[in-house]
């Protein structure tokens, strides 16, 4: 998956907002499948079959420990149920810390707000028409989308396109963890503000954004982005970080974008985790899996801050 799209995994909450706007449309034959609440029997089966996925680390310092987990921003019902090891780590925590709380109405509103001065370009009419065509293909109304920054529109459409493969933002891991925390009375804290997330998504200066949006739209039209997202999801499912690193290395053209949108945020994320730990909170930290690879991976940065960090093994299926 290219660097651009991986960075836009941040927009799960934005995609959920779009889905809310589109909720009255209903599922149509030409539309991608929509996520529906599971029946009690389906939920019970998913719980019985739940296994650990992704990657989990245990970190410790000052006699206290916490957990760090690499997530995926889209998923399925089967993926949404934590396995036994991840579930136990979640239950140990007092506070669930995520890049952002996708159930926070203020965050969703900030992410979908109209562009601020100097944040977004005016797109060529032909490119804006292509964005509108992709919204129609995703069966979401154009009017609420059209008020958002163009990069945010393209990013939301990328996640919505994953529905054709049965991958839904509704079942994104952060969304599920936020619901579980709410049900169990655990505190949810954000590691970043909406402003930081918007800046990460916009990435490039306004003058450079049309070229990036053109690439996203072309990838949606050709189906390449969907295939890359599915490939990354499979790697996440296996928890094979070496395979993920190899996958990233095959997309050198997106390396600069990935550095700016993902890796450059890691030092501030590590500092925020450190701050929360110093405050005495027993943490379960969940961030996108891409923050866990590379020279500035979060486990490495936490180790550099004096934490003992160890990968938690999962039982292979």
Residue 34: how many other CB atoms lie within 10 Å? 16
Query: What pLDDT does residue 251 have?
Result: 63
Q: Does residue 62 sit in helix, strand or coil?
A: coil
Instruction: Give the pLDDT band (50/70/90) at residue 24.
Output: very low
CB-based burial of residue 39 (10 Å sphere; 0-12 exposed, 13-18 middle, 19+ buried)? exposed
- Convert 163-231 into a string of H (helix), E (strand) and C (coil): HHHCCEHHHCHHHHHHHHHHHHCCEEEECCCHHHHHHHHHCCCHHHHHHHHHHHHHHHHHCHHHHHHHH
Beta strand pairing call for 283-288 and 64-71: parallel
Instruction: Give the pLDDT band (50/70/90) at residue 220.
Output: very high
**Does pLDDT of 8 surpass 70?**
no
The C-alpha angle with vertex 181 and arms to 86 and 71, in degrees rounded to 5, equals: 45
**Which tens digits make up the pLDDT trace of 55-89?**
999 999 999 999 999 999 999 999 989 999 999 99
Average pLDDT over residues 81-103: 95
Query: What pLDDT does residue 204 have?
Result: 77
* Strand stretches in 26-173, DSSP E: 55-61, 64-71, 95-98
Query: What pLDDT does residue 247 have?
Result: 80
**Which tens digits make up the pLDDT trace of 129-173?**
999 999 999 999 999 999 999 999 999 999 999 999 999 999 999
231-245 per-residue burial string, b: 16 or more CB within 10 A, e: under 16: ebbebbbbbebeebe
**Does pLDDT of 25 surpass 50?**
no
**Which tens digits make up the pLDDT trace of 263-286?**
899 999 999 999 999 999 899 999
Query: What pLDDT does residue 1 have?
Result: 35
Mean per-residue pLDDT of the chain: 87
Structural tokens at position 204: 């490039």
- What does the alpha-carbon distance between residue 264 and residue 133 come to, in Å, rounded to a whole number? 33
| Beta carbons within 8 Å of 101's beta carbon, 6+ residues apart | 107, 178, 188, 189, 190
- What does the alpha-carbon distance between residue 266 and residue 261 come to, in Å, rounded to a whole number? 10
Query: What pLDDT does residue 118 have?
Result: 87
* Prediction pTM value: 0.87
**Does pLDDT of 21 surpass 80?**
no
Query: What pLDDT does residue 23 have?
Result: 39
Structural tokens at position 14: 């934005």
Backbone angles phi, psi at 315, to 5 degrees: -75, 125
């Amino acid at each position: 998956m290219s660097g651009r799209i991986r960075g836009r995994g941040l927009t799960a909450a934005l995609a959920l907002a779009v889905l809310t706007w589109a909720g009255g449309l209903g599922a149509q034959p030409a539309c991608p499948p929509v996520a529906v609440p599971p029946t009690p029997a389906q939920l019970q089966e998913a719980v019985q079959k739940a296994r650990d996925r992704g990657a989990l680390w245990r970190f410790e310092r000052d006699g206290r420990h916490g957990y760090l987990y690499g997530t995926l921003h889209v998923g399925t019902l089967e993926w949404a149920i934590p396995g036994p090891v991840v579930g136990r780590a979640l239950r140990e925590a007092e506070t669930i810390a995520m890049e952002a709380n996708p159930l926070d109405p203020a965050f969703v509103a900030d992410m979908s707000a109209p562009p601020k001065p100097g944040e977004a370009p005016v797109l060529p009419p032909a490119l804006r028409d292509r964005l509108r065509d992709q919204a129609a293909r995703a069966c979401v109304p154009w009017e609420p989308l059209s008020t958002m920054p163009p990069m945010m529109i393209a990013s939301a459409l990328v996640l919505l396109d994953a529905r054709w493969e049965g991958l839904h933002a509704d079942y994104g891991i952060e969304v599920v963890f936020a619901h579980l925390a709410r049900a169990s009375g655990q505190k949810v804290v954000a590691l970043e503000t909406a402003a930081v997330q918007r800046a990460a998504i916009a990435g490039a200066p306004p003058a450079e954004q049309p070229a990036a949006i053109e690439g996203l739209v072309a990838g949606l039209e050709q189906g390449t982005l969907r295939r890359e997202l599915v490939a990354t999801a499979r790697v996440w499912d296996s928890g094979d970080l070496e395979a993920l690193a190899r996958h990233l290395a095959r997309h050198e053209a997106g390396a600069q974008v990935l550095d700016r949108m993902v890796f450059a945020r890691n030092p501030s994320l590590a500092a925020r985790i450190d701050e929360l730990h110093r405050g005495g909170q027993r943490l379960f930290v969940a961030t996108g899996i891409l923050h866990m690879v590379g020279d500035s991976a979060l486990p490495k940065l936490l180790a550099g801050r004096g934490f003992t960090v160890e990968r938690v093994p999962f039982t292979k299926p």
